[in-house]
Amino acid sequence: MFPCEIKTFPTRSALSIRFRSPVQELSAYFGRVYGAIGAYLAELGAQDQGEAVFAAYHNMDMQDLDIVAGFTVSKPLPGKGEIQAAEIPGGPFAICHYTGPYDQVGPAYEELTQYAAQHGYQPGGVAYEWYLNGPDVPPQDLKTDVAFPVIPLGEAATA
């Protein structure tokens, strides 16, 4: 249903903010977080540095999500206050290219997990969502890459 692939990425620099939120309040948190980081990039004179918007989900408890959200940047930049300099680890990732409303992305995760297993992998860490176009497009046209690092089936995850 959704196109999936295994792809190897280099380590990427990022600026991010970590927070906890129930799923119903994510939109407000994301607006604040991305706005704060965007303003900080402008303050640094690096507004063109914000490359890709992402959220990293450290758990899937819909009433208490533990999330790191931010922008990848082309070079390491210093953090400030709650904005942290970070790295997104490189290596092999399973990726599912999803188009549709954010609140209906669940089946993409299921399909991605199945795809990874069919290709000899299992999830090996944090789940990422890369938001490829803005919330200003119709919900049915939103493009999101769902991704997680993978390790060969049977190996223990270290993340």
Please give the C-alpha separations between residue 128 and each of 53, 56, 75, 80, 131, in angstroms, as whole numbers. 10, 4, 20, 23, 10
**pLDDT tier at 136, thresholds 50, 70, 90:** confident
Mean pLDDT for 144-156 is 90
pLDDT in tens, 2-61: 999 999 999 999 999 999 999 999 989 999 999 999 999 999 987 656 678 999 999 989
Given a contact cutoff of 8 angstroms between Cβ atoms, the answer to whether 96 and 132 are in contact is no
The predicted structure's pLDDT at residue 48: 58
The predicted structure's pLDDT at residue 9: 94
Mean pLDDT for 95-109 is 94
Q: For 129, which DSSP code?
A: E
Q: Is residue 158 part of a domain?
A: no
Q: Is residue 145 part of a domain?
A: yes
Q: Domain residues for 50?
A: 4-152
CATH code, domain carrying 66: 3.20.80.10
Q: Is residue 157 part of a domain?
A: no
Q: Is residue 159 part of a domain?
A: no
- Residue 158, pLDDT > 80, answer no
Number of domains the chain contains: 1
Q: Is residue 27 part of a domain?
A: yes
Q: Is residue 67 part of a domain?
A: yes
Q: Is residue 106 part of a domain?
A: yes
